[in-house]
Every structure is written in structure tokens, then in C-alpha cells.
Amino acid sequence: MDISDASRTTTQTVTDYDRAKEVQAFDDTKAGVKGLVDAGIVNIPRIFIRPPEELVEELTSHQTNFQVPVIDLDGVRGNKLEEIVDQVRAAAEPWGFFQVVNHGIPLNVLEEMIEGIRKFNEQDVELKKEFYTRDQTRNVRFNSNFDLHYSRTANWRDTLTISTVASTNLDPNEYPEVCRDAAREYIKNVTKLAETLFELLSLALGLKAEHLLEIGCPKEYILLCQYYPPCPQPDLTLGATGHSDPSFLTILLQDQIGGLQVFHDNQWVGVQPIVGGLVVNIGDFLQIISNDKFKSVKHRVVASQVGPRVSVPCFFMGHNAEIPKSYGPIKELTSAENPPIYRDFLASEYFSKRFSTVLDDNSPLHQLKL
């Protein structure tokens, strides 16, 4: 498809229709994107088709062969600590992304988590509908596109969310039975890994190892179990629109299909899956408290005819919605020569700004600058 074809096809497809009506009809099925695929569609619904100007820009841009840094955590508790801290610093400053291997989570735990999410999405739709809701106060919920009703373009994915942010009273018995054991074991392991990573990031900032732990960075989490069905027209949509993460840190488990891309050096860089590896990226909150030393960068997921793709990002949020929490640049990282870039703010202020806009809008970081 050339540029004129892309523009012409999209213009013919997305104009002159009642978007709100189509969005509501899709939402009312409670079957998500998987329901569309199961129905045997050949052309994707209009709500998923990206604007013509975006498709044209996509076709005229190129992607680089850069590789996201890979860090081996073997020896992190031994004589390789200083070397690993240097590697974390080198990745977190310009990239904001890296992959970790030998991180301590058994391969079978990772594989069973991916398989559990696949089973959840591929079970009888009536069982999934029991979890379908847009109520953000629910600890466990299933839907397609959290911003479906106000986004410009819907993304080609369905999501099971497991969260301690709305309420810390999360009972594992709330998890769907088909993936309950896998999710419980994975969460236990990934939260432990997060503590190690926050220690490394503290040291990389020149702080004591416990600093980020003591201010509660890994305290609460949101686990998004993402399911990307194969797409019949992947050039017209995305699995996830370009965005930065509203977290301190994100640890991502992905299968071997791939599709994650990071925006680096004004180009999209593919993050190649590594068997047993995990992707780690800096979130907006950590960029703020590090006073811009670490970078929260834009990333996205492309759609594909191959699939389904399964990925499980775990966002470490550092706060609970029930308790007011204030953040700002860490005092030890600021000085007369390096003054604070951001003002202190409540986490609730950030999230009210963040979740009142669509996924692909800029994060609220610029609104919090002094």
C-alpha cells in the first residue's frame, strides 16, 4: 500500500459515521477485540482505523536497527554489583528502557503466566463477561481499551487488569480461576524483582540502595494482562498507541511474537523478545523524582496478522488512591547548580490529568514543571 492508497482508504472508511454509536455497540458485546476475530471479520471496524495523516506519516518514516540494552543481573548480590549499576545508569538515562536476564524468576513461572492469560481470553466468552467492567475501583476487571469512549482511535487489544491501587484489599480469590495460580505466583516473583531494580536505580542515582524503597516506589501495582488478537489489517491500526507510562517503573513480560517499539533518537526501535528476559522501563514518576536524570520515553505496540500476542506489564505506582501522597524531585538530587525542574504535587493530581485524556496525548509532565 502506497501513501495515496493509505490516505484514500482511510478517508473513505472513517468519515460520515456515528462513532459514539459504533463504540457503544462494540462495548456492549463485552467480547472485546477477540469477539471480532471470532466473528470472522475481514475489515476492521472504523473505530480502530488511525487518521489518514498518521498513516501517511507512518509510511514515510523508517525504523532503526538499534537494540535496547540488555543487562545480565547474575551476580547482582556479589562482585558484579558496581558493573550492573553502571549498566542500569547507562540505560536509564538516554534510553529509559532495558531488558534484564538472569533476574531470578524461573522460566516456568513466566511461561505459565503467559499461558494463563491466553487461556483466560480464549475461554467461553460468557466466563469473561463476568469480569467485564469499566469501574476503575474494581481490583480485577476485564475490558477493551480503558479510553475507548473518548479516544480518537481504539487499539487492537483486550485487557485483564489486576490492581492494588484502588484498594489494597486484593484477594487472590478475585482472580479468574483459569489463571489464578499463575498470576499469584508471577506477582509474588515480579514484586520481589521490582525491589531489586529499585535498589539498583537508587544506587545509579547516587543514593543509598534503600532510598526508592523507603519512599514506597514499589508499594502498589497495576498488572495489565494484554491480549492482542491477530489483525486482518495491521497497517491501519495499532496494538497500543505511543505513550509513556504513569508509574515509577514498569516490568514487562512478553511472549516471543514481538511488536513492542521504543521511540529513541527520533526513530521507532523494535524490542526483540528474549526467552526468559523481561523488559524494564522508567515511568513518568521516576523521571520527575530523579529530576529528569532518568527518562520516561514513548513506546507503542504495532498490530500484526500473527498472533495472538500476549504481554503482561506490571506498573509499580508507589501510592494507593485511598491515601493522599505528594511527590517531587528528590532533595538529594537538587542543588543551586541543579535546581528542581518539577514542583511538588499530589499523585491524585497527576492521575486526574492523565486519565482525563486519551492514551496517545502527552503525559502531564510539562504541566508539573516549575
pLDDT at 354: 66
List own/partner pairs for 12-20 with CB under 8 A and 24 or more apart: 13/46, 13/49, 14/46, 14/49, 14/51, 14/52, 17/46, 19/46, 19/47, 20/149
Whole-model pTM?
0.92
**Structural domain total, the chain:** 1
Judged by phi (left if over 0) then psi (alpha if -120 to 50, else beta), residue 346 lies in beta
- Give me the pLDDT at residue 323, please: 66
- At 12 the pLDDT is 43
Q: How many whole angstroms separate alpha carbon 240 and alpha carbon 211?
A: 33
pLDDT of the residue at 288: 95
As a whole number of angstroms, the distance between CA 171 and CA 157 comes to: 26
The predicted structure's pLDDT at residue 134: 95
3-state secondary structure of 289: helix
- Residue 220 clears pLDDT 50, i.e. is over it: yes
Alpha carbon of residue 176 to chain centroid: 21
Identify the pLDDT of residue 59: 66
Q: What is the arithmetic mean of pLDDT over 238-247? A: 93
Place of cell 542500569: 88
- Rounded Cα distance, 323 and 165, in Å: 10
| pLDDT given for residue 78 in this prediction | 86
pLDDT (0 to 100) of residue 164: 92
Residue 3 has pLDDT above 60, yes or no: no
Mean predicted confidence (pLDDT) in 13-25 = 80
Handedness of CA 13, 15, 18, 19 (dihedral sign): positive
CA gap 156, 228 in Å, rounded = 6
User: pLDDT tens, 326-346?
Assistant: 889 999 999 999 999 999 988
pLDDT at residue 238 in the model: 96
* pLDDT score of 351 more than 50: yes
Lowest mean pLDDT among 167-176, 267-276, 284-293: 167-176
pLDDT tens digits, one per residue of 128-170: 999 999 998 899 999 999 999 988 899 999 999 999 987 778 8
- Domain carrying residue 109: 3-368
Q: Tell me what pLDDT residue 366 has.
A: 80
* pLDDT at position 294 over 60: yes
Mean per-residue pLDDT of the chain: 90
Q: What is the CATH number of the domain that holds 252?
A: 2.60.120.330
